[in-house]
Amino acid sequence: MTPITTTAELTAFCEQLRGQPYVAVDTEFMRETTYWPKLCLIQAATPTAEAVIDPLSPDMDLSPFLAVMADPSIEKVFHAARQDVEIFSNLGAIPIPLFDTQIAGMAAGFGEQIAYDALVRHMLKIDLDKSSRFTDWARRPLSEAQLTYALADVTHLARLFPMLRGRLEESGRLAWVTEEMRAMTDPALYDVEPENAWKRLRPRRHTSKYLSVFRAVAAWRERTAQTRDQPRGRILKDEAIDELATQTPTDADGFNRLRSVPKGFAGSKFGPELIEAIREAVKNADTYAPQTAKSGPSAPQAAGAVVELLKVLLKARAEDADVASKLIATVADLEKIAADDNADTPALQGWRRDAFGADALKLKRGELALVLDGSRVRVVEVRRAPKPD
């Protein structure tokens, strides 16, 4: 097998993709020691064409393929697409429209986050060869076995996609997956602007001083990680951001007393930069602190028990619908519902409300009960005695 290594070859291949209803795509990349993922290989397949593309080739401009990724007339099929979409977003072309077969598998009854090889086994009755799974994809040349292994990730995907999509259409659940895809292709999900880095974290307090320092430290870490092309965690751990925002040290001694900051950090080349960033954040706390959604109404003392009941209800309703419970609601959703009947959560909107949310509110009001029937939990309506006149 010969990979595509020139822009001219890539242009010719992309011409074959034009007019196709969909293209299955996968990538191989490295990012264990970097901030930016290093794209090493792109695999693409339709019912009539397939290829392995080498982005590391010196005579390669990916523009023709990026144009395909942005073409709204061609559906892009991935499995577990989050990191692949991030890579293409960094290159300036979010794949739209998108179909993620892992999410689709959750809606089709294949369980939580089904792996690609398991989905192929279920739907195509094929056991994949995983012998090249731990390949260093940045090394050249790649062997015939490695290229064949890589291409298999999309040739089988191109076959199972119409089968999986048809299954969802028959069950009336294609709209569920479409809704998830809209969220996954939201550019905000892949925003790498340092000043917005705090949004990926969970601030524990809501005072202006705390939030201002929290934002400043997160921005400093993001900017430093990008500049040095190192993982965020190698610059500073997430828990250190919270501790720095809580303690707000403004000198070396204050840094040295913190548990989550590496020993000697204040004396490193990073220390003075971060100390200055914290000082500025404290000085401008009222204007620099981000606006956050504060916690909703105070949860009752029994909220913990309510969440546990909602977990059981969620599992029961997910089993009834033969859909992965994670696709319906998360623990965070359940906590919000336990505290507030009008919580702003996807679990109380759209198809999720029909599948679970409405019953969750009924359970809170005592209108539903959970009954153990052998090894299965049944959900039953509670018949209340009429009030006396």
Tell me the mean pLDDT in the region 262-274. Answer: 89
Confidence band (pLDDT; 50, 70, 90) for 264?
confident
- Supply the pTM of this predicted model: 0.87
Chain segment 35-49, per-residue pLDDT in tens: 999 999 999 999 999
CB atoms within 10 A of CB 225: 22
Residue 176, token pair as written in the block: 């569920």
Tokens 């969909």 belong to residue: 22
Residue 190, token pair as written in the block: 């892949």
Going along the chain from its start, the domains and CATH numbers come out as: 7-190 (3.30.420.10), 194-288 (1.10.150.80), 303-381 (1.10.150)
Q: Going along 96-210, which residue ranges are E strands?
A: 98-100
Report whether pLDDT(299) > 60: no
Report whether pLDDT(170) > 50: yes
CA atoms within 13 A on the CB side of 222: 17
Confidence band (pLDDT; 50, 70, 90) for 298?
very low
Comparing 136 with 130, the larger pLDDT belongs to: 136
Closest CA to 142 of 79, 55, 78: 55
How far is the C-alpha of 223 from the C-alpha of 91, rounded, in Å? 19
Tell me the mean pLDDT in the region 347-361. Answer: 94
